[in-house]
Amino acid sequence: SPEFCSQVITPTCNTTFSYIDSLNDGLRPLISELVQTPYFRYFKLNLDKQCKFWNAQHFCATENCAVDILSPSQYNWSDVTDEEWKPARLGKINREYASDDSGAAIDEAPTCEDLDYCHIDDDHNCVYVNLVDNPERFTGYGGNQSFAVWKAIYSENCFPNTNPMSMKNPDAAPESCIEKNVFYRLVSGMHASIAVHLSNEFASPSDSEFKPNLKIFMERVGAHNDRLSNVYFNYALVSEAIVKLSKFFPLVQSIKTSDDLSHQKFLSNSTYDYSSLLDSIISSLSQHTLFNTSRLFHPDTTPPSLKEEFRSRFKNVSAIMDCVGCDRCRMWGKLQTIGYGTAFKILFEDENIDKLKFRRIELVALVNTFDRLSKSISAINNFKQLYLKHLDDV
Ligand code: FAD
C-alpha cells in the first residue's frame, strides 16, 4: 500500500492508506453509534444568513435539498418541568465544572473568538436540526451555482508569497508553503468527501431510491489519486485533533454540562453512557500518531502573520457556506467547516491552551466531521470492490 503522504507535505504525515483502512474498519461501528447519541445528533445553525460575497439565492430546486427543522417546542424551555434541567440549575453545574487542572475551560462565558478558525451561527434566527434525519447525500445541487462556490473556496488558498527576510531562518523559505499545502489538501479532501457521499447515496431525477453509483464516484473521486489521498489526509488530521483534545479537555464532563441550554432539553431523558464509547474511540486513535504538526507554523520557518492569514482565510471559507444555494448542502458544509476549524484550533493553538474554549457546537461538528470522513473511507473501500467486480464483468 503506498505512502499516501507524498513528498508534498511529508513533515505532517506519518501513516499509510492501509493503516487508516484497518483502523477505520474497527472504529466505524463506534463512530456511527456516537453520532446517533442525543449529544451529537443535534446541530444549531442559521439557514437564512445572507451570503456576504455575492447575491446568492437560498432556494431548493428539489425536495432532496430541504432540511427538516425541529419545531421550537422541541427545544424551548417554557415547558420543561424537571428542575434539574432548568437553565439556572445548569448554569450552576457549568460553573462547578468551569475549569479543570489542565486550564482548558468548558465554555459558559463568551468564547475567545480571536483563536477561532471559523464563524459559528449564534443569533435569534438559529434553528435546531437532527442530523440523523437529514443525511448528507445527492441533492441535485450543481451547475454554475455550485461551481462558483467551489471556485470562491479554492481562491482562499492564494496566500501571498512569504517574505523570507521576515523569518528568523531565511534559508527555510522554500518550506514555508507547507501550511498552504495543508490548506489546499484539507479543502480538496472536504470536496472529495462530499462527492463520495453524494455518489454513495445517489438518486437520478427519475429514481427515488438512494444507492451507490460507481460511474459518478469514479468521475468525481475514484480516478483522481490526489483527491482520494486528501480524504485520508483529512482523516489523519481530524483524528489527531480528537486525540489531542482528549488530553487537555474534559470531554465527558462537557457533555454533561453543555453550554447550550436549549440543547440540554434533548439530553434530559437520556442516560446514555458516553465515557466507554469515547474511551474506546480515543484509545484506538491514540495507538499511532497519524498527523505531525511540529513543523507547521514553526517560528524559525514562518512569519507570525502566516497563522493569522491561514485563520482568516479559513474563516472566509466557513462564511462562504452562506452562499451555498441548497439547504441540505449548506447545513453539512457549515458543519464540516466548523469541524475542520475546531481541528485547526486544537492543533495550532497549543501555546494558548489556557485560553482555549470550546462550544458544544464545535464538539458536535468535530465528531460529525470525523464521522463524515470515516463513512467516506468505508464507502471508498466498498467502491473499490464494486470497481473490481465491474472489471471482472467486462
Ligand atoms: P464540482 O464538484 O462542482 O467541482 C468543480 C471543479 O472543481 C471540478 O470541475 C474540478 O476541476 C474541481 N474539483 C472537483 N473535486 C475536486 C477535489 N476533490 N479537489 C480539487 N479539485 C476538485 N451536492 C450534493 O448532491 N449533495 C451535497 O450534500 C452537496 N454538498 C455541497 C456542499 C458544498 C459546500 C458545495 C459547494 C457543493 C455541494 N454539493 C452537494 C454540490 C457538489 O459538490 C458539486 O458541486 C455538484 O455535484 C457538481 O459537481 P461537478 O462534477 O460539476 O464538479
- Give the distance (Å) from ligand 1 centre to CA of residue 195: 6
Residue of minimum CA distance from atom 38 in ligand 1: 329
Say yes or no: CB of residue 333 within 6 Å of ligand 1.
yes
Closest atom, ligand 1, to C-alpha of 333: 34
What does the buried/exposed string (b/e) look like for 107-131 if buried means 16 or more CB atoms within 10 Å of the residue's CB? bbeebeeeebbbbbbeeeebbbbbb
Q: Which secondary-structure segment (H or E) carries 316? A: helix 305-320
167 CA to middle of ligand 1, Å? 37
What DSSP string describes 200-269?
A: HTB--TT----B--HHHHIIIIIT-HHHHHHHHHHHHHHHHHHHHHHHHS-HHHHHHT-S-HHHHHHHTT
Give residue 245 CA to ligand 1 midpoint distance, Å. 30
In the three-class reduction of DSSP (H, G, I as helix; E, B as strand; rest coil), residue 97 is classed as coil
**Which atom of ligand 1 is nearest to 187's Cα?**
19
Residue 354: which residues within 8 A CB-CB, separation 6 or more?
103, 104
**For ligand 1, atom 21, which residue shows the shortest CA distance?**
188
Q: Is 324 in the pocket of ligand 1 (CB under 6 A)?
A: yes
Name the residue of 60, 144, 146 to mutate for ligand 1: max ligand atoms within 8 A of Cβ: 146
Atom of ligand 1 minimally distant from the CA of 226: 19
Pick the closest to residue 9 from 175, 224, 251 (CA basis).
175
The residues near 338 (Cβ < 8 Å, ≥ 6 apart) are 118, 120, 318, 361, 362, 365, 366, 369
- The ipTM assigned to this model is 0.99
Q: Is the CB of 362 under 6 A from ligand 1?
A: no
Confirm whether 326 is a catalytic residue. Answer: yes
Distance from C-alpha of 282 to C-alpha of 285, rounded to nearest angstrom: 5
- Cβ–Cβ under 8 Å, residues 210 and 341: no
User: Is residue 250 within 6 Å of ligand 1 at its C-beta?
Assistant: no
User: Exposure of 299 by Cβ count < 10 A (0-12 exposed, 13-18 middle, 19+ buried)?
Assistant: exposed
- Please classify residue 388 by burial: count the beta carbons closer than 10 Å to its beta carbon, then call 0-12 exposed, 13-18 middle and 19+ buried: exposed
CA pair distance 291, 234, nearest whole angstrom = 9
The CA 147 to ligand 1 mean position distance, Å, reads 7
Instruction: Return per-residue pLDDT of the chain as tens, 394 residues.
Output: 344 554 334 456 667 888 899 999 999 999 999 999 988 999 999 999 999 999 887 766 678 899 999 987 776 555 444 444 444 444 343 333 333 334 344 443 344 568 999 999 988 899 999 999 999 999 999 999 999 999 999 999 887 755 444 545 544 444 447 888 899 999 999 999 999 999 999 997 777 899 999 999 999 999 999 999 999 999 999 999 999 999 988 888 877 776 666 666 677 666 788 899 999 999 999 998 888 888 889 888 788 899 999 999 999 999 999 999 999 999 999 999 999 999 999 999 988 888 888 998 999 999 999 999 999 999 999 999 999 999 998 8
Angle between helices 178-200 and 360-393 (to 10 degrees): 60
Q: What is the pLDDT of residue 208?
A: 80
